[in-house]
Amino acid sequence: METSIRTLIVDDEPYSRDELKHLLGAFPSIKIVGEAESGESAIMSALQLHPDVVFMDVEMPKMNGMKAAKALLELKKAPMVVFATAYPQFAAEAFRYDAIDYLLKPYDEEQLQETITRIEKKFTTPTEQDPGRPSGKLPVERDGEIIYLEPREILYIVRDDKVTKIISKSSEFETKMPLKDLESKLMGYGFFRIHKSFLVNLEYINRLSPWFNGAYQLEIEGRKELLSVSRNYVKALRSRLEI
């Protein structure tokens, strides 16, 4: 990906800034243009540096991350915001500020990868999309053949160890394709990430039930198994489902 995504890191703890800077260094698309240690300095830095995305700590003295994010959203060119915090109870409030994602400390590298993929999609032009697959169908290899699945026939997709399982209305398929790649290919077809291991077709959700510690369980039409919904995704999922 040739796009350089200008990134600002905001955290009142130098160690946390250094850790995130180190982790983000693994992504060629991310260009760190600055750091800030408070909500006030985050706003000043955003005005000067014009970042595309801001990784924002929530708990900071004086102006916290939520207030700073609200101010950033009022800028003429508002950056995307990723909240990063050790406190999961702020997740629901975070999505009120149109956060593109919510990361919990200590950082999970797989979750960070998913966040960067989500950010990169915002900068992907149509010409960068894969021109090789038939329009509107997902290619899956089975027994030496390539089967093209209609996205509307897929109920959900789950990553199990190193294998990704695609559960459709009539069959099940296995692929080594990472879940994040499938999420990218199915973008625009009504699929939603509910957990680092699950991607579901919103059309087939029957029931969302509280489980424990803020997590939920999901019932899919025509299936007996219940899928886990991570508490980090509950608020955004309910927002997508409710009229």
Question: 5-126 adopts what CATH topology?
Answer: Rossmann fold (3.40.50)
Q: Give 88: exposed, middle or buried? Use CB within 10 Å, 0-12, 13-18, 19+.
A: middle
Into which CATH architecture does domain 138-241 fall?
Answer: Beta Barrel (2.40)
Q: Hey, how many other C-beta atoms are within 10 angstroms of the C-beta on 221?
A: 12
- Residues 172 and 166 sit within 8 Å (Cβ to Cβ): yes
Highest mean pLDDT among 59-63, 134-138, 163-167, 230-234: 163-167
Spans of all domains in the chain: 5-126, 138-241
Least confident range from 32-36, 49-53, 178-182: namely 178-182
User: What's the pTM value of the predicted model, to 2 decimals?
Assistant: 0.55
Farthest CA pair distance, the chain = 61
pLDDT(1) > 60 = no
Q: What is the pLDDT of residue 160?
A: 86
